[in-house]
Structure 1
Amino acid sequence: MTTGCGCGGGSGGGGCSSSAKEPEVVVAVEPQLIASSEQEWPIVSVNGVQITPEAMAQELQYHPAESREEAVFLAARALVIRELLQQRIRELGVLLEVGAGENEEEAATRLLLEREVKVPDCDEATCVRYFESNRGRFHSAPLLAVRHILLECAPDDAEARHVAHSQAEVLLLSLQESPASFADLALKYSACPSKAQGGSLGQVSKGQTVPELERQLFTLAPGLASKPLESRYGWHVICVDQRIEGQPLPYEAVATAIRTQLQQGVWQKALVQYLQTLIGAADVRGIALQGADSPLVQ
């Protein structure tokens, strides 16, 4: 795929590329640390084993948050759960079988959860009911044949963004009067390699553009967009030459995905309940946990 603006236009298809992320599961907790205002780190212990300030300082980097207090809570909670799991592993004498890509701690945790978190399989009837209740979610992705003119500017340059937006509006007015000039204007003004093909990005489906552009792009009807669209790369003057709507998918095409999704949901609930059980049975001091999640859930 051609680099540059990131839209992949130079390769004859696809939009500004990005990778999509699956949504994370969040379990409600109360972020309350029991610590005085004079303490830089709370004093937290699990069944008499203290979570050291050094461990919390190291863990902190994995828990970005809006405030330091929240980040410290998240780091301390993760370390409490890790210590609880390690203590349970030692209590049960879990024998290690290290798999590919695992270290010993990861292997021991996996084997512990396989042993103690039992989840029933989702049966066919449950999957079919879910499909029937959510038919609107199961369609093939729409396809758009798109041309664009990219007026490039840095995402943090407010002045350049203002200038680029003004220029995009001028080009849009010109195209409304003379639609046939799109290729000439793309060649002259666009910062995307697709300018050599008259601005054509080919057929674009979901997941092929950066999210902020995709959200706008797939709401458009065929024709010249009525206003410029903004992305991290700048401002885009867009023309949708063709829009092919997605088609409903039969159950057979999505059965495996439905079963995996439902099974993952059941597993996540069972795991949270297991972690809550460990917390409830332990002597955890210095942090108030009414529920628990962990990186294992994500």
Structure 2
Amino acid sequence: MSADLTERPVPRPEPQMPSACASGGCGGGSGGGTTATIHVHRRGRPGAEPPAYVAVRVNGTVIAPEAIAEEAQQHPAPDPASAWRAAARALAIRELLLQEAHRLGLAAEPETDEAGRREVDEEALIRAVLETQAAPSSPTREECLRVYEQQRERFRTPPLLEARHILVEPGGDDEAGWDAARHQAATIAREVGDDPAAFAEAAQAFSSCPSKMQGGSLGQLQPGELVPAVQSAIEALPEGMTGREPVRSRFGWHVLRLDRRIPGRQLPFELVESRIADMLEARAWTLAAARFTASLAEAATLEGVALGKDELEAQLW
């Protein structure tokens, strides 16, 4: 398939634990488990003045305005005040967990992740307190099966399209060049009709895409795998037909043919059970960490920051 046409989707991340960084990846993480890590950012603009907002204290411990200002850069928000409040909550959560770790006399045992990044001691302490005080039970097979039965559509292979194209590039970037390329593409589409052999011959003769060596074949395509204009045009074609109207992309004009539709199939439970278990475990860690943090916040003396249920849920998700 032509690499030019592909637009691969980015894998979607699993839910994360409450973190001082909503975006993650700041030089340290736990390895080998579904436990939580609070990441601490110290990347600010040198000399940047923090906003003049209220002082933030957790059980009498002051969270420096400069630290909040630096952390606020990791919390996209519609305005500086909202970013400041989100950063203050994140650092207050971190401070609560660190204080609890010290109260319990826990020792930091930093781990190294698969990329070779080592936790800082504070992150290791936060992980330790969550592992010892908020670890949820592992999901049962029955729970996984319930999710599978309730959300069967999530556990299907994607539908596939077997398609071809002929790419006619314009001879120049001006309007005349594009018009000439469109005229040629329309002529090809009209002449080859729905004959697959004629399409393959025309692809070899006229296409500017390397796929011409395979008769224009794009292989088996998943939804969203091509640039949107081409993808949507192929999806709209009846099986076994060539589109009579060329489709324009930034690469040129495309003559498109849909050879076959392959419907998605249901994956058996045994094949996705571990995936469901991982998803439920990650969610359970998130909720358990939120409940534990909420209990600490309820018993704490907080100034300048709110850590009620609504605030914690907003910080978490």
TM-score (norm 1): 0.69
Q: Counterparts of 1:282 and 1:150 in 2: how far apart (Å)?
A: 66
State which of 70, 77, 92 in structure 2 corresponds to 1:58: 70
State which of 262, 266, 275 in structure 2 corresponds to 1:244: 262
User: Which residue is 2:153 aligned to?
Assistant: 136
Q: Counterparts of 1:233 and 1:198 in 2: how far apart (Å)?
A: 19
User: Does the C-alpha gap of structure 1 residues 246 and 91 become closer, same or farther in structure 2, counting only changes over 3 Å?
Assistant: same
Matched, 1:20 2:33: no
User: Does the C-alpha gap of structure 1 residues 148 and 211 become closer, same or farther in structure 2, counting only changes over 3 Å?
Assistant: closer
Task: Report how far residue 98 of structure 1 moved.
Answer: 1.7
Q: Any gaps of 5 or more consecutive residues in structure 2?
A: 19-50
Residue identity opposite 1:144 in structure 2? L
Q: Any gaps of 5 or more consecutive residues in structure 1?
A: 8-14, 28-38, 153-159
Q: For residues 56-92 of structure 1, give each alpha carbon's deviation from its aligned partner in whole angstroms, at most 9, with x where no partner exists.
A: 2211221122322222222222111111111111111
> How many residue pairs end up in the alignment?
268
Q: Counterparts of 2:68 and 2:107 in 1: how far apart (Å)?
A: 28
Percent identity between matched residues is 34
User: Does the C-alpha gap of structure 1 residues 89 and 65 become closer, same or farther in structure 2, counting only changes over 3 Å?
Assistant: same
User: Which residue is 1:110 aligned to?
Assistant: 127
Range 79-88 or range 63-72, more displaced: 63-72
Q: Residue 14 of structure 2 contacts residue 279 of structure 2 at CA under 8 Å; is this kept in 1?
A: no
Task: Report how far residue 16 of structure 1 moved.
Answer: 2.5
User: Which residue is 2:101 aligned to?
Assistant: 89
SS at match of 1:122: coil
Q: Counterparts of 2:176 and 2:281 in 1: how far apart (Å)?
A: 51
SS at match of 2:294: helix
Greater RCO structure (CA 8 Å; 6+ sep): 1
TM-score (norm 2): 0.66
Q: Counterparts of 2:252 and 2:73 in 1: how far apart (Å)?
A: 31
Greater radius of gyration (CA):
2
Q: Counterparts of 2:207 and 2:199 in 1: how far apart (Å)?
A: 12
Equivalent positions of 1:102-251 (< 5 A) are 102-103=118-119, 104-148=121-165, 174=187, 177-178=190-191, 179=193, 180=198, 194=211, 197=214, 199-205=216-222, 209=225, 216=232, 220=236, 222=239, 223-224=241-242, 238-251=256-269
Q: Residue 161 of structure 2 contacts residue 258 of structure 2 at CA under 8 Å; is this kept in 1?
A: yes
Q: Counterparts of 1:134 and 1:198 in 2: how far apart (Å)?
A: 40
User: Which residue is 2:312 aligned to?
Assistant: 292
Q: For residues 131-183 of structure 1, give each alpha carbon's deviation from its aligned partner in whole angstroms, at most 9, with x where no partner exists.
A: 2222233222222223346799xxxxxxx9x9999999877755653445687
User: Does the C-alpha gap of structure 1 residues 198 and 118 become closer, same or farther in structure 2, counting only changes over 3 Å?
Assistant: same
Task: Report how far residue 23 of structure 1 moved.
Answer: 5.8
Q: Counterparts of 2:178 and 2:292 in 1: how far apart (Å)?
A: 53
Range 175-184 or range 266-275, more displaced: 175-184
User: Does the C-alpha gap of structure 1 residues 58 and 130 become closer, same or farther in structure 2, counting only changes over 3 Å?
Assistant: same
Residue identity opposite 1:99 in structure 2? E
Task: Report how far residue 2 of structure 1 moved.
Answer: 7.6
